[in-house]
Amino acid sequence: MTEKRTAVLLVLDGLGDRPVPALNGKTPLQAANTPNFDRLAAEGQSGLIDILGPGLTPGSDAAHLALFGYEHSQVYPGRGPLEALGAGLESRPGDVAFRANFATVDEDLKVIDRRAGRVFTDEEGRALQQEIDGLEIDGIKIRFIATVEHRGALVLEGPGLSGQITDTDPHAVGVKVLDSEALAPDAEKTAETVNKLTKITYEQLKDLDVNKDRVKRGLPPANIILLRGAGKHESIPTLKERYGISAIVIAGGALYIGTAKYVGMGHIPVEGQTGTIDTNFAGIAEQAVQCIQDGHDYVFIHIKAPDNASHDFNPDEKVLAIERTDEMLGLILEKVADKIVIAVTGDHSTPVSVGAHTCDPTPVLFWSDFIRPDDITSFSEFDAARGALHTLRGIDIMPMLLGYAGLIEKTGA
């Protein structure tokens, strides 16, 4: 009988890179001191992943859906539901969800500040939230959550909703808040509801004490909510339904949490986990170990910091982010190496020389104490190109992890 293990997916966001002159022509992954990654590469198998296919540059949501074993084109609900779930707002099949911003408009609903000054206290957020959350318009229920700074998420719940509508956020100042428009015949009612909601939010928020107080303090009032990224939460087969597994996400960024929850993972928050280089690496390791010891079948750990460094064109910070993640992995291996099968990879390449996602394949290593090792002895884009895994696709990763972990039934007899 195949012994069962916990399948662990460790994603360093934007990991893949190109040679960097400031790093003596090495990639950040090559330049970083990564004893744990290198040990696993030496004892395991390496390869490259064309996450969505050769030449395609993955967005973060599409990339993660692929790594979770889903075809983006078949299950992508739009950004709204993923962000809403990531923000901790309930969203269910049939709901339509949006990313939301507090903004400042004049009496003609012309946008003065798209972020209403960006600075909000938790109390302000809660006070504003309770004016919107729980509203009902024409039989459609509104759920709203204020998250960080001016940001939030909003969900419509009711019969006959459509995600095929345009943003109310004009993505510019000095112009009026947009009317949402239906992009499909059956989306008329949803667009109408959203346009009523825009006016209602203005009426509810404009004279609030919170806003009077903000103006007194020289801050723009949060007197409207702008919506973007409408998407309908579709009913997709969850990981539990597809594989019968109990899956957990440990991530700091809302999009990653939301995408994981969309496919049915449970989210376990870690005190101090953020999307930055100063995230609580030790706390993440501790929580991962706990999940593995608790016998969860699958644990997804997401580290955002390498991607941020790339977007900031900062090779040294990317090296540091990689080294801290390697150290974190060391803490996990110390405790539960004999209980796991692990894949370490990125969701896409974000070269520090480019500052944006590119189509370069991303390196991956697979390790368990029983996996046949290949000849590769360190983890990098260049070494991985010679590994036994050759070139994989993103959607291969989930079945490989679960297959080696003994969590997929034999096909046929």
- Residues of this chain that interact with a copy of itself (CB under 8 A) are 1-2, 18-19, 27, 45, 48, 52-63, 65, 72, 76, 79, 353-360, 370-372, 374-375, 381-382, 385-392, 396, 398-404, 408-413
As measured in angstroms, the least distance from the Cβ of 3 to a copy of itself is: 8
As measured in angstroms, the least distance from the Cβ of 222 to a copy of itself is: 25
Q: Does residue 5 contact residue 296 with C-beta atoms inside 8 Å?
A: no
As measured in angstroms, the least distance from the Cβ of 273 to a copy of itself is: 22
Nearer to a copy of itself, 337 or 354 (CB): 354
Nearer to a copy of itself, 140 or 401 (CB): 401
- Which regions of 136-194 does DSSP assign to beta strands (E)? 136-137, 140-146, 151-157
Q: How many whole angstroms separate alpha carbon 237 and alpha carbon 40? A: 33
As measured in angstroms, the least distance from the Cβ of 347 to a copy of itself is: 10
Nearer to a copy of itself, 252 or 361 (CB): 361
Which helix or strand (DSSP H or E) is residue 365 part of? strand 362-367
- Which regions of 122-198 does DSSP assign to beta strands (E)? 136-137, 140-146, 151-157
Which of 25, 47, 15 has the alpha carbon at shortest distance from 351? 15
As measured in angstroms, the least distance from the Cβ of 286 to a copy of itself is: 29
Nearer to a copy of itself, 193 or 345 (CB): 345
As measured in angstroms, the least distance from the Cβ of 274 to a copy of itself is: 20
* Look-up of token digits 């520090």: 352
As measured in angstroms, the least distance from the Cβ of 195 to a copy of itself is: 25
Q: Hey, is 154 helix, strand or coil? A: strand
Nearer to a copy of itself, 330 or 403 (CB): 403
Q: Does residue 329 contact residue 36 with C-beta atoms inside 8 Å?
A: yes
Q: How many whole angstroms separate alpha carbon 198 and alpha carbon 202? A: 6
CA angle 395, 291, 322 (to 5 degrees): 60
Q: Does residue 258 contact residue 87 with C-beta atoms inside 8 Å?
A: yes
Nearer to a copy of itself, 64 or 189 (CB): 64
Nearer to a copy of itself, 259 or 287 (CB): 259
Q: How many whole angstroms separate alpha carbon 305 and alpha carbon 345? A: 14
Q: How many whole angstroms separate alpha carbon 57 and alpha carbon 360? A: 8
How many residues comprise the chain? 413
